Structure 1
């Protein structure tokens, strides 16, 4: 193999850095034509990722971290609750099949918005729930949905804020429900996630509303 020139190595390094930065940016361009991006936090990202990936029109959901003050945090750092991040999921979807409004409505029905800095059995600011909008259009939909939830529940702690840098989580967290189905189901059951959703939402729990639009 011919050795690369010094200039070539520098260019490769610069391109690699640029790609990494773009991938981490909340406003990074979508890689697949026709897809749009949304960000949500609903406690354990294994569950949030798995919930969104079952929807028609969702191309992928990636587990990661958002909202903190430390660059490129590790799971160990985030799990201590000291970095300011929450476990979040980046959802890439086809707006011709499913709308952002529908995704937001679905997200509410998969979280407990009445509690602060926790979701189900997981406690700490790293498990706070949230909707993180990318632009004005998403902001209007997210804020309107928050007002609706505030009319339904006495107290709503789910944060609705502009998306910041999203850092994908480590590989072993991605597609955890598919890679470790028995452990995932055991965790989800023992955490009481579906039982609490049923109590909060009744027959709407975990479902995509028919009138989401």
Structure 2
């Protein structure tokens, strides 16, 4: 099994990618292969409609290698910082590229990052607006890493009770995501979907 990890901060060496690396380490310890995309280090060009009609254009070229990695994944973890209660533009831009070939009927776990006690609004935003055309299936669980500078700084030792709690909660949610990834394989392998006919969600 392979899980894609999307780190949706535009900052280089962000707290978001720090948590993403911790998640990657946790999954690898469970025997799960991973693909990690850091949108701070490897931003995608701003999406526009040339993506649809220039099949060999610069946007298609930039997307091709990422798309191939996503297609090989059976589930996703999307990490977003809380910027003024919103998802950063680089992550919204990422979802404009995605389609059913990359994400349809694959489970997704949302992890929100906050330097304080926020984080819930980006979770709501992703659940509302990111799935319509790519058909990613957000699982009911999500994680909010609050006071992130005090969490997940060491792979071995937690830094206090809050860090211990969020690590345990993360491990629980990762196990649920893995179970969903197995279960939704039956849907992906069936012939029930007709995405050539119904390309866009309602």
Tell whether the structures are fold-level matches, with TM greater than 0.5. Answer: no
Q: TM-score, normalised by structure 2?
A: 0.32
Larger of the two Rg values belongs to structure: 1
Which protein has greater RCO, CA pairs closer than 8 Å, 6+ apart?
1
